[in-house]
């Protein structure tokens, strides 16, 4: 596919120029935040840092971090940097625990955010010839509005479906010839499954690309979705606090997401010590916004674990790439003392030919963790022979033990018995919270 850019002058900027641009913008953004956000000014004063101390990105490490707890503490207006009358939109995180986090946007912030989403859609091949079906949720969640705005800017015909009502999604997809699908990867997998159930083959739809994100997904899941829908599946990353989807997006190489470095600086830190780690090292991703008016965040700790690398990319983009997040530091389960990420379990399943329909249930019995994994059998290999099921369970359990170092109790269940998700999938049910255990 020919490489297409939405804003070539930025997306392919020489690395030295990106650095220069970041240096200039950072100095301004820090002063802006210090002058307008008391909460962060207090953090800087506490650390003894003044805006004048930040002369370039080399000084970034001097600034204090912001954490999700700060955003909760400052809820709702404590980190707002401009008068409310200058704001035109509010979004909120999809978190289910604790106080929600709200983010504010001026029209300028919305414009930059939509540009980022348009870059993602254009990189996936989106043009004015395309019909872009947006089935991320619309509303407080940023997925729907972000990709919707990006689709407009990229010139696509936009189908604002929002999430859910899979029958209607499929009807419109087929009747209106959707070519680009935007949703969570788990919903894309479900749409693929539903199309198959209705007797459609991958070549029956006009889809060519999917832009999937908002939750961790594996390479194996990508291959599955690509095969079932007959498309190229591109990853997109973002978070409400920093704007929404489009902070980073995949290009035709499909091996990591370019971070929109003209708007955000990314760092990787050691989640325990806060020390900045060199490129290529796994750690927690931290973002600093460079252009935001309403809700600028400096050194915001995402809790997402990943790796950054800056290698020459065949797409021509020069922005640094982030690997697929390997889960969040807070999604990491500690089971019997072992760190386990849901993505590891998913990788084993897909490797062994299972669909990524699974649920992990954690509990505590006699002061010891229990670890159950429920996995759906496919229609093709479904059997109610106990002997067959036990054999298959054992096989899968051994593969998981090899990957994780601990043994889950594996339960193969009948097809379609694990609830599907139209938004972010619920993979883990941690009943240990009942006993006040929050790990």
* Footprint on this chain of ligand DLL (rule: CB under 6 A): 93-94, 136, 142-143, 213-216, 235-240, 244-245, 302, 304, 324-325, 328
- Mapped onto helix, strand or coil, the DSSP state of residue 39 is helix
The Cα–Cα gap between 211 and 237 comes to 10
What count of other Cβ atoms lies within 10 Å of the Cβ of residue 391?
12
Residue closest to ligand DLL (Cβ): 213
Q: How far is the CB of 364 from ligand DLL (least distance, A)?
A: 26
Q: Which two tokens stand for residue 266?
A: 């990314």
3-state class (DSSP) for residue 211: strand
Closer of 57 and 93 to ligand DLL (Cβ): 93
Q: How far is the CB of 425 from ligand DLL (least distance, A)?
A: 11
Helix (H, G, I), strand (E, B) or coil at 287: strand
With contact defined as beta carbons under 8 Å apart, do 391 and 354 qualify? no
Q: Closer CB to ligand DLL, residue 119 or residue 392?
A: 119
DSSP state of 431: G
Q: Looking at beta carbons only, is 239 or 404 nearer to ligand DLL?
A: 239
Which residue lies nearer to ligand DLL by CB, 304 or 422? 304
Residue 193 or 304 having the CB closest to ligand DLL: 304
Q: C-beta of 45: minimal distance to ligand DLL in Å?
A: 29
Tokens, residue 144: 């729907």
Report how far residue 82's alpha carbon sits from residue 86's, in angstroms, rounded to the nearest whole number.
7
Cα angle 131, 137, 143; round to 5:
75
Q: How far is the CB of 284 from ligand DLL (least distance, A)?
A: 11
Contact 107, 133 (CB under 8 A): no
CB of 154 to ligand DLL, least distance (A): 15
Q: How far is the CB of 324 from ligand DLL (least distance, A)?
A: 6
Closer CB to ligand DLL, residue 324 or residue 432? 324
Region of 94 (left: φ > 0; alpha: ψ -120 to 50; beta: rest) is alpha
Residue 78: which of 89, 70, 86 has the closest Cα? 70
- Is 51 or 122 the residue whose CB approaches ligand DLL more closely? 122
Name the minimum Å distance from CB 86 to ligand DLL. Answer: 23
């Amino acid at each position: 596919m020919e490489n297409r850019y939405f804003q070539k002058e930025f997306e392919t900027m020489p690395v030295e120029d990106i650095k220069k641009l970041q240096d200039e913008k950072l100095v301004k953004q820090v002063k802006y935040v210090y002058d307008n956000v008391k909460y962060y000014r207090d953090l800087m004063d506490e650390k003894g840092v003044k805006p004048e101390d930040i002369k370039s990105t080399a000084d970034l490490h001097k600034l204090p971090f912001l954490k999700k707890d700060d955003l909760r503490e400052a809820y709702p207006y404590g980190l707002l940097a401009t008068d409310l009358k200058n704001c035109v939109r509010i979004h909120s995180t999809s978190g289910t625990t604790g106080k929600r986090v709200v983010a504010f946007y001026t029209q300028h912030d919305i414009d930059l955010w939509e540009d980022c989403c348009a870059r993602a859609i254009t990189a996936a091949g989106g043009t004015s010839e395309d019909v872009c079906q947006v089935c991320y949720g619309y509303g407080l969640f940023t997925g729907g509005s972000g990709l919707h705005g990006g689709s407009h800017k990229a010139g696509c015909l936009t189908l604002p479906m929002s999430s859910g009502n899979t029958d209607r999604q499929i009807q419109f997809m087929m009747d209106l010839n959707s070519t680009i699908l935007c949703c969570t990867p788990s919903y894309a997998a479900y749409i693929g499954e539903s199309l198959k159930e209705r007797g459609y083959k991958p070549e029956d739809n006009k889809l060519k690309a999917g832009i999937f994100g908002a939750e961790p997904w594996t390479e194996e899941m990508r291959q599955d979705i690509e095969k079932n829908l007959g498309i190229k599946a591109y990853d997109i990353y973002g978070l409400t606090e920093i704007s929404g989807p489009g902070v980073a997006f995949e290009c035709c190489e499909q091996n990591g997401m370019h971070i929109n470095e003209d708007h955000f600086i990314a760092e990787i830190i050691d989640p325990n010590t806060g020390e900045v780690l060199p490129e290529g090292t796994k750690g927690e991703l931290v973002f600093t916004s460079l252009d935001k008016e309403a809700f600028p965040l400096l050194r915001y700790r995402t809790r997402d674990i990943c790796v950054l690398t800056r290698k020459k990319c065949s797409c021509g983009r020069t922005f640094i790439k982030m690997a697929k997040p390997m889960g969040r530091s807070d999604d990491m389960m500690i089971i019997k003392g072992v760190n386990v990420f849901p993505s590891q379990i998913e990788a084993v399943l897909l490797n062994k030919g299972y669909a990524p329909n699974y649920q992990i249930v954690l509990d505590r019995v006699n002061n010891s963790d229990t670890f159950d994994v429920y996995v759906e059998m496919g229609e093709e290999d479904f059997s109610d022979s106990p002997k067959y099921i036990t054999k298959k369970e054992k096989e899968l359990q051994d593969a998981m033990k090899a990957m994780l170092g601990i043994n889950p109790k594996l339960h193969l269940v009948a097809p379609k018995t694990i609830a599907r998700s139209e938004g972010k999938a619920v993979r883990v049910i941690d009943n240990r919270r009942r006993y006040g255990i929050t790990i």
